[in-house]
Structures are given as structure tokens and as C-alpha cells.
Amino acid sequence: MKFSVFQVSRKGGREKNEDRMGYCYTRESGLFLLADGMGGHPEGEVAAQLALQTISALYQKEARPVVRDVAEFLTTSLMAAHHQIIRYASERGMLDTPRTTLVACIVQGTHATWVHCGDSRLYVIRHNELLTRTRDHSYLEQQSAGVIRMDRINRNILFTCLGSPTKPVFDVTGPVPLQQGDRIMLCSDGLWSGLSDGDIVRHLATKPVAESVPDMVEDALRSGGDHCDNVTVIAMEWETPDSFESTKGISTDSISDGVFASTIQAGVLDTLVDDLDDAAIERSIAEINEAIKRSAGRKS
């Protein structure tokens, strides 16, 4: 398996950068992750980091060297990440939970499969055209797609995320067959809010990802101005040919079976994912709900 990959995160006009991204791979499989911690709730950067670490830890256990059922893995690992965030808040007696969006993609064999929750997006570019992209879990995107019709609300508001006391809504897509030169990009809303889909395609289609992504991020920051959101991108080009060796492409062919490589740093998780059981999850969610109710009662 061969691919070129480039990742970057730039702080915009926000007080801090709560975006997190990374990738990991085995000899025959690759996992790409991006999470955007949500403002308005505490410790968004922790929620984003917990999501990445939980899913990458489960991937390391499962990918031997491939994930047997990719769609099922993405579903169960997303829910495990959600429960880890809930438990993190419960153990610390937090009145509000850290929250994050998530987009995760597994490339295996000649196919890509992805899951997303919230408004962090995945784009697939093929032959200078947009093959597909995810649809945000916002009222605006769902209304434009004809899924829901609502008036007199802020349609840009997300109706789901990881870390909320309610069960997250998410979509799994794929497997999508890949072709030589396909580009897959995961990004936070700081990128796409400042650029049109056409701008994104133009950038990704014309140059290798190591050149196109930095230029694209700079355009998004300029477009957003002083109040621009943080801009985070991880992009890969599938099956990079020999002529693109200068892009520092990765070949997994030389990796031994059982070897796992990752750019996702550890440090937030205090316990292993295996420690979670259904009873502990339900207790955590109940405690968070009760704490929020008490806080709301005091304010009223």
C-alpha cells in the first residue's frame, strides 16, 4: 500500500486550538482521524484527543494487519470514544461535558470507508472533480439535503457530537473503490467555512498534497480574517506513482506483520479502552445528566 500524506493545524483567531488530527497504519491498512473540540463547552481539546486516542488504540488491537469489518469497527470505535469522553467528565464531576466532532477514514485494500459526526468533513477528489463529500450534521446541511425542514432556528447549529449526554448521530459511508491519484481530505470547519467546494477541489487537484494543503490553509486563514476559526487538515493521495517520490510518500510494503506506526500521541487516557463495560457507561451518562439537571435548576 502506497500513499502520500500531509497534515497541518493552524491557529486562527481563537483563544486556543482545540483541533486534533493524526494517522496510523499497518502493512495493509491505514486510519486517518480528525476531531474538532467544540467551543462553548469545557476542555474541547481533551474531547478531541480522547476521541483520537480511543479509536487509534482500538485500531491497533484490531488491525492484524487489516480490520475485518471496517464499517462495524468505525461504528463501535466512535461509540467507544463517545463513552470515554462521558466517563472522563463523570469521574471529574464536571457539570458540562467536553464535546467534539469527528471524522475517521480507513483505507484498506483498494477501498476507503469513513464515519463522521458533526461538521468536520471528508472530501474525495478524482480527476479534478469532487467525487463526494460528507454532509454536516447541522440543520442547514440536512435541510438543504431535504432530510429535515425547520424554520426560525439557527440552522448552522450542530444537532449532534461526541460527548453530549445524548447518543451521537453519525453516518458511515463506503466501501468506496479508489483509483490511482485519488485525494482524500479530512478537515475542520475552519477550512471549508472560508473556501467553497470549488476552491478546495482546485487546490487539491492541481498539485501534490504536500504543496496544495499549505496553500489551501493559508487561503482559508486569509478568507476568515481576524476571527477565523482554527484550520486543521489531513490529506492523502492514494497509490502515489514513482514520479511523486519527492512528496515523501509512505510505502507500507516493508513493514513487518504486527508492526503499527502512528502520529497520534498518547497522554490523555488514564485507563485502557477495555475497562469500559455497559454498566459503567450507563452510570456515567446518568451521572452527567443528573449533574446538568441540578445545574439548570440552580440557574433558574
296 vs 96, 289, 300, CA distance in Å?
11, 11, 6
Q: Are 100 and 48 in contact (CB under 8 A)?
A: yes
Tell me what pLDDT residue 156 has.
58
Q: Are 104 and 33 in contact (CB under 8 A)?
A: yes
Tell me what pLDDT residue 160 has.
93
Question: What pLDDT digit, counting tens, does each position of 47-67 carry?
Answer: 999 999 999 999 999 999 999
274 vs 31, 58, 62, 77, 269, CA distance in Å?
20, 9, 13, 12, 12
Altogether, the residues listed in the chain come to a count of 300
The per-residue b/e assignment along 156-190, b for 16 or more CB within 10 angstroms, e otherwise, is: eebbbbbbbbeebebebbbbbebeebbbbbbbbbb
Maximum distance among all alpha carbons in the chain?
65
d(CA 218, CA 238) in angstroms, rounded, equals 24
Q: Write the DSSP symbol of residue 47.
A: H
- Output 148-151 pairs: Cβ under 8 A, ≥24 positions apart: none
State phi, psi for 105 to the nearest 5 degrees: -135, 135
Q: Which distant-in-sequence residues (6+ apart) come within 8 Å of 279 by Cβ?
A: none
d(CA 70, CA 10) in angstroms, rounded, equals 31
Q: Which positions of the chain have pLDDT values less than 70?
A: 141-156, 240-248, 254, 265-300
pTM, to two decimals: 0.86
Helix pair 44-62, 70-91: axis angle to 10 deg: 140
